[in-house]
Amino acid sequence: MRIDSNPPILPATPRRDGKAGSAQGPAFSSAVSAEQPVSAPAASRPTTPVDGLFLIQEIPDALAHRRRAVQRGSTLLDRLDDLRMALLAGSLSPSQLVELQRAVASERGQVDDPRLATLLDEIDLRARVELAKLSLA
């Protein structure tokens, strides 16, 4: 017994019962030849006003305050680093400590975080202690 896995493909044969196919009836030809009315084009929408864009440009940059705070913090950290290096080298000058105290005092008015205020108090205390040591020596 022989089994063919793929039977050969044969061309389609016409119907022998005399009935017309669904694509050859009068309903199909009338649907193809009938013209459908064309609808009017949709009205165009008005352009959006650019007033909103102008208002957005007038709002101050929300990140500007944060950038300034980071810059001030970076300056204060640089002064603390200079103080540390001067302490290690034994060349600490009172002017460095006074400048650090001024920087801390200027930051206090702009700080609303209690932890940061505590940190500024500790820095100020350390600067006062080092000034006291220098005045005794």
**pLDDT for res 36:** 67
Q: Please give the pLDDT value at position 25.
A: 55
Domain ranges of the chain: 64-136
For residue 24, what pLDDT is reported?
53
Which regions of the chain are under pLDDT 70?
1-4, 7, 14-15, 17-38, 43-48, 55, 58, 60-62
User: Do the beta carbons of residue 79 and residue 99 sit within 8 Å?
Assistant: yes
* Rounded Cα–Cα distance for residues 105 and 119 (Å): 12
pLDDT at 28: 63
User: CA–CA separation, 68 vs 55, rounded Å?
Assistant: 24
The whole-number pLDDT of residue 69 equals 80
Which of helix, strand or coil describes residue 60? coil
pLDDT at 62: 64
pLDDT value at position 23? Answer: 52
Q: Are 127 and 101 in contact (CB under 8 A)?
A: yes
How far apart are alpha carbons 97 and 130 in whole angstroms? 8
State residue 110's pLDDT score: 82
Q: Which two tokens stand for residue 50?
A: 């650019």
Total-model pTM: 0.49
